[in-house]
Amino acid sequence: MTMSETELMLRGYGLTTAEFIYRMPDHQNVLNTFVWQDYDLAPDHPKLFKFIEFWQSEIEGPLHSVRFTHRKEISPGEWRNCAGEFTLH
């Protein structure tokens, strides 16, 4: 069973975006990029590191570097309790 994006965010997941810079298999002096995104848990980033392990074992282009950022889409400071409401006009 897969969870929706909202369920993942409510469980503490945030959007992780990684830029992989790798060497072309036939031309080792040529670098190329690949962008990966998924919902992941900080600070351990298990999905990101699982993908890096997959890359190193299954993909021919050796990694040069990986750059990533993580952003929680929902945080406790974004929610507030409203005790009342009034209408103007």
Which pLDDT tens digits describe the chain residue by residue (89 residues)? 688 888 888 888 999 999 999 999 999 999 999 999 999 999 999 999 999 999 999 999 999 999 999 998 776 555 566 666 666 66
Q: Specify if 51 maps to a domain.
A: yes
Domain count across the chain: 1
* Tokens matching residue 89: 């006009």
Q: Specify if 39 maps to a domain.
A: yes
Distance, in Å, from the CA atom of 6 to the CA atom of 24, rounded to the nearest integer, reads 37
Burial class (CB in 10 A: 0-12, 13-18, 19+), 72: middle
Q: Specify if 33 maps to a domain.
A: yes
Domain containing 69 equals 5-75
Q: Specify if 64 maps to a domain.
A: yes
Q: Specify if 50 maps to a domain.
A: yes
Q: Specify if 38 maps to a domain.
A: yes
pTM (2 decimals)?
0.77
Cβ atoms 9, 74 nearer than 8 A? yes
pLDDT at 46: 96
Q: Specify if 16 maps to a domain.
A: yes
Q: Specify if 69 maps to a domain.
A: yes
